Amino acid sequence: MIKVGIIGYGTIGKRIADAVAMQDDMKVVGVLKVTPDYEAKIALARGFPIYTYSDRFDKFKKAGIEPAGTIEDLIKASDIIIDASPEDVGRENKEKYYQRYDKPVIFQGGEEADVADVSFNALANYEEAKGRRYVRVVSCNTTGITRVLTSLILNGIGIKKARIFIARRGADPKEHKKGPINDVVPNPATVPSHHGPDVQTILKDIDIVTMAIAVPVTIMHMHMAYIELSSTYTKDAVIEAFVKTPRIFLADVGSGFQSLAHVIEYARDLGRSRSDFPEVAIFRDSVTIRGNELYLMYGVHQESIVVPENVDAIRAVLGILPKWRSIEKTDKTLKLITEGKVYG
């Protein structure tokens, strides 16, 4: 039973905690919280011991929560750390704490790539994480792109170049202070956005350029992809690759999937925790072949897409299971869509 400590219990951390708790080969030994808010009470209710920074003990006690210990106590109690802190705080934690303990740490995509020895996506480079001290699960958009491109590569469809145009969600549902409202924001105004180079931390030889705008939605990101293939492939071959690849869902307009909202409504109807949709949702009707050009649109659920990747990263780092057995186990325990999927 792998003892997992989770540093940061926000949008990503709380989801990873729940996902780890659903596995039979690992358990949550504690979560680090900074504020004794409603999320802290949820953590307690789920049986996750709460740790905090030593200077936050009083705040927690005043709120009626007795901390189980400091961040260092949590590190000592863990076999492996998941750092799901806000952007750049992971690096601070590394410098202040992680470097003093001989425990592997998995960072999130909010950190720069050089915080870790290797960037990680389960489909693309599971094996590269084995035995590493510091691993980084790439961010939501990068994970989505990497899955789509890897699906093609694993199925023998060569990629000459990928140009991806991203409409980013402006904020997560709970971020009441972020925007935009009624605006489209070049995000960034310069080209490329960081996503292209970030994909290259995993798919090192891929020719990729990305552009991004932010739009007033909290629901999901939407990507419009233009991919030049190494030769001509049929639409059927591309669709078959997506059908077979775990963590990719094909949404048909004819089945009622006309927009991102329908993908999330599907997750709600499935009874999924927090209405999450960790699969990349490809709009099947958008998949178009034109000579050696492939076009498609897909949604990326920013809050949950990296959750199964983190579960796999734990097994990959510790060498507990080989790639496809871990991916399959994660998908089944998290009740992802496994129909038609080929694991290995």
Among residues 41, 154, 172, 180, the one that binds a second copy under rule CB under 8 A: 180
Q: Is 236 an interacting residue with respect to a second copy (CB under 8 A)?
A: no
In the complex with a second copy, which residue's Cβ is closer, 4 or 260? 260
In angstroms, the CA 206 to CA 196 distance is 9
In the complex with a second copy, which residue's Cβ is closer, 122 or 260? 260
Q: Are 309 and 327 contacting, i.e. CB atoms less than 8 angstroms apart?
A: no
CB of 312 to a second copy, least distance (A): 28
CB of 262 to a second copy, least distance (A): 9
Query: Strand order in 26-32's β-sheet?
Result: 50-51, 26-32, 2-7, 80-83, 105-107, 134-137, 118-120
Q: Is 23 annotated as a binding residue?
A: no
Q: Two tokens at 301?
A: 């659920």
320 noted as active-site residue:
no
Q: Is 272 annotated as a binding residue?
A: no
Q: Is 211 an interacting residue with respect to a second copy (CB under 8 A)?
A: yes
Q: Is 290 an interacting residue with respect to a second copy (CB under 8 A)?
A: yes
- C-alpha distance from residue 44 to each of 74, 230, 240 (Å): 15, 52, 44
Stretch of residues binding a second copy (CB under 8 A), selected from 9-17, 146-154, 214-222, 233-241: 214-222
Residue type, 305: I
| Active-site hit among 140, 206, 289, 311 | 140
Q: Is 182 an interacting residue with respect to a second copy (CB under 8 A)?
A: yes
Q: Where are the alpha helices (DSSP H) in the chain?
A: 11-21, 38-45, 57-62, 71-77, 89-96, 122-125, 140-154, 195-200, 235-244, 260-269, 307-318, 323-333
**How far is the first Cα of the chain from the last one, in angstroms, to the nearest whole number?**
25
In angstroms, the CA 147 to CA 143 distance is 6
Site map for a second copy, 122-151, x if CB under 8 A? ------------------------------
Among residues 57, 165, 324, 343, the one that binds a second copy under rule CB under 8 A: 165
Q: Hey, is 219 helix, strand or coil?
A: coil
Q: Is 292 an interacting residue with respect to a second copy (CB under 8 A)?
A: no
> Which residues belong to the annotated binding site for NAD(+)?
11-12, 110, 169, 302
Which residues in this chain contact a second copy in the complex, by CB under 8 A?
A: 163, 165, 167, 180, 182-186, 189-192, 209, 211, 213, 215-220, 222, 224, 226, 253, 258-261, 283, 285-286, 288, 290, 293, 295, 297, 299
